[in-house]
Structure 1
């Protein structure tokens, strides 16, 4: 079956890596070394093979190695459903991030048609107990993994909303100006809502059909106290009705940008925010695995997975169960941990890379 994985990754002046090269195959990649050595920086580089700002959501300039700040480059060879592609990303000092695919300039959204990358990082451990923005971002990345065009809808909505918010702040009251922007917001917003609903349906179906060591979650989209319409016509009408209130606030108070992802820990029928820290982590792992299974069923190959420090939060049995699921799925999962013993249960099923720090510079050694 054609796979989806990186066979070559090269970094130049990226974060703590002055120069780093990884040659890989389709197996999981176990990366180990002390804290601060540069393990997560490797995962961040891989996350750039999907649309967006990567797993840290950092500005392009912030990814440059310090103190030189000369700019950076990430190159890779991506095997995408039986076809190899050369990917190059760079950022010159003070300039924007640039992308080339097979030697030709390309927009960020083009990556979504070649690579599907999912990640779970420690900052997401508080997903269920912090603000809705993080959950909304998580939901949109799930939707983007199924529907690359979700990025275009989100960009269209954000652009129109920024313009509408500018009018609101300036207290402009010309209905014609608002109507044009609200039509664009409604069109893009309906597409966003449909993508989110369809993504949730796919993930929940993948959970229900799987035998897994991780608990299922019941997912839904919530809008707080308001019953926000999700079809284009009704959404445009709701935005028009809300102009008076929005003028007072100076911003758009309702719409897809206010949505929240609600989750219930199915085995206990308990809201995710009320679960223990361990249960919340297990839910996140379950959702990432379900997302990956659903993509594998739909596309014919699993996505690339990035699991930062995931092994440290699991006991030996559940850690072994996670590795078994990843290998059964056939995913190239890039995983980090502080020591090689965390990956013992993988045996020969994984590649291993040790990362060390030498005077502030990351060094790699394949095992």
Structure 2
């Protein structure tokens, strides 16, 4: 698949822009801070309603360019997507400040979640080093964004779980307050929530462990191609509750989690948090059996992060329509051997969008079309042909 046109209104640094993309590789070239990443972020946001840069979507709405300008009420991202057989689909998402978002497909109003799964993309950016080095939440987000593109219905499971987890955590915080005042907590309301919490947690964790099993081979292969190291990359899913086998039974996993919750209530009340559940799952990354975090070199860490994204690209390509590959300021961070390995692998993509500050950072063998990106104090970010 590929995007032929992108139109933005009040998105990030863009007041208004319409950009046409050709098949193949396109480079968005411009100095730092001009708005290159904002454009590719708009494309990728439609894939999983997730940004690789911010967690709050209100940050995607443009700020006023001057003190005299009113704050925009929202942002609009509109893309023309071309899939197998040259079939065209127009996708529109309106991010409304303080209200529910709105979406259209081919000018027909739809629920925003119906957009998920239509446009698939894989983004690699410097922030991806945090998948390896950062907190477990970053690794869970990586898995969930990929899951949502593979199986859009999991977005509802994730949303429901997050809501129930917040409610249960609030009850545990209340129980902690009761303990501190010398009272015995009343867990009856917690018990009511445990059934739903355990079921949703089991569904989400089982989806994640299945994804990790699918991802292991492609990620390891990508590392062999670009890593420049004989050590093998392996990834392992670490379920918060311990037992969560590939292909496991949802009811069984949920039942086991309920038993853990029942035996841990006082400990959770003392801490005022949910100690077990899908919100505490993690991903273990190893090279040659050694943890990547804390042991790998800077170059190896880059290669692992990139291999995870390239593995995701292979998974999403299995339905016959390759996702859009976005490389955000990546080549400048790679040495020559890793650049060469990445260049070989991305030739499989129908469309590659690359941001770069310097033209020499992009390998010439990609034969890329170049769009110049610059900031105008009155117009915002402007995109034009080089």
Report the TM-score when normalising by structure 2.
0.84
Matched position secondary structure for 2:94:
strand
State the distance in 2 between where 1:276 and 1:244 align.
42
Matched position secondary structure for 1:74:
strand
State the distance in 2 between where 1:218 and 1:317 align.
21
Q: Could you tell me how far 1:131 is from its partner in structure 2?
A: 1.8
Q: Which string of whole-angstrom CA distances, capped at 9 and with x for unpartnered residues, describes residues 220-255 of structure 1? A: 12257x635571221222222222222222221111
Moved more, 128-137 or 91-100: 91-100
**Which residue number in structure 2 is paired with residue 308 of structure 1?**
328
Moved more, 83-92 or 303-312: 83-92
**Which residue number in structure 2 is paired with residue 240 of structure 1?**
262
Q: Could you tell me how far 1:92 is from its partner in structure 2?
A: 4.4
Q: Could you tell me how far 1:109 is from its partner in structure 2?
A: 2.8
Q: Could you tell me how far 1:64 is from its partner in structure 2?
A: 2.4
State the distance in 2 between where 1:174 and 1:320 align.
58
Matched position secondary structure for 1:128:
helix
Q: Could you tell me how far 1:106 is from its partner in structure 2?
A: 2.9
Q: Check the 8 A contact 2:226/2:337 in 1, yes or no.
A: no
**Which residue number in structure 2 is paired with residue 213 of structure 1?**
226
Q: Check the 8 A contact 1:156/1:184 in 2, yes or no.
A: no
State the distance in 2 between where 1:143 and 1:203 align.
11
**Which residue number in structure 2 is paired with residue 296 of structure 1?**
317
Which residue of 46, 53, 57 corresponds with 2:54?
Answer: 57
Provide the aligned C-alpha RMSD in A: 2.4
State the distance in 2 between where 1:99 and 1:281 align.
36
Shift in CA distance, 187/272, structure 1 to aligned 2, threshold 3 Å: same
**Which residue number in structure 1 is paired with residue 180 of structure 2?**
none
Q: Could you tell me how far 1:158 is from its partner in structure 2?
A: 1.3
Larger radius of gyration: 2
Q: Check the 8 A contact 1:146/1:199 in 2, yes or no.
A: no
Gap regions ≥5 residues in structure 2 = 176-184, 246-252
Task: Give runs of aligned pairs for residues 1-367 of structure 1, distance below 5 A.
Answer: 4-67=1-64, 68=69, 69-70=71-72, 71-82=74-85, 83-92=87-96, 94-171=98-175, 173-175=186-188, 177-208=189-220, 212-214=225-227, 217-222=233-238, 227=242, 231-266=253-288, 269-273=289-293, 274-297=295-318, 299-327=319-347, 329-348=348-367, 350-359=368-377, 361-367=380-386
Shift in CA distance, 11/33, structure 1 to aligned 2, threshold 3 Å: same
Q: Check the 8 A contact 1:60/1:96 in 2, yes or no.
A: no
Matched position secondary structure for 1:13:
strand
Shift in CA distance, 153/95, structure 1 to aligned 2, threshold 3 Å: closer
State the distance in 2 between where 1:200 and 1:341 align.
36
State the distance in 1 between where 2:76 and 2:115 align.
16
State the distance in 2 between where 1:301 and 1:107 align.
24
Moved more, 136-145 or 32-41: 136-145
Q: Which string of whole-angstrom CA distances, capped at 9 and with x for unpartnered residues, describes residues 170-201 of structure 1? A: 336253x3334221122211111111111111
Q: Could you tell me how far 1:279 is from its partner in structure 2?
A: 0.9
State the distance in 2 between where 1:190 and 1:233 align.
9
Matched position secondary structure for 2:242:
coil
State the distance in 1 between where 2:220 and 2:238 align.
22
Moved more, 305-314 or 177-186: 177-186
Matched position secondary structure for 1:118:
strand
Q: Could you tell me how far 1:292 is from its partner in structure 2?
A: 0.8
Alignment length (residue pairs): 357
Q: Could you tell me how far 1:145 is from its partner in structure 2?
A: 3.2
**Which residue number in structure 1 is paired with residue 179 of structure 2?**
none
Q: Check the 8 A contact 2:327/2:355 in 1, yes or no.
A: yes
Shift in CA distance, 330/65, structure 1 to aligned 2, threshold 3 Å: same
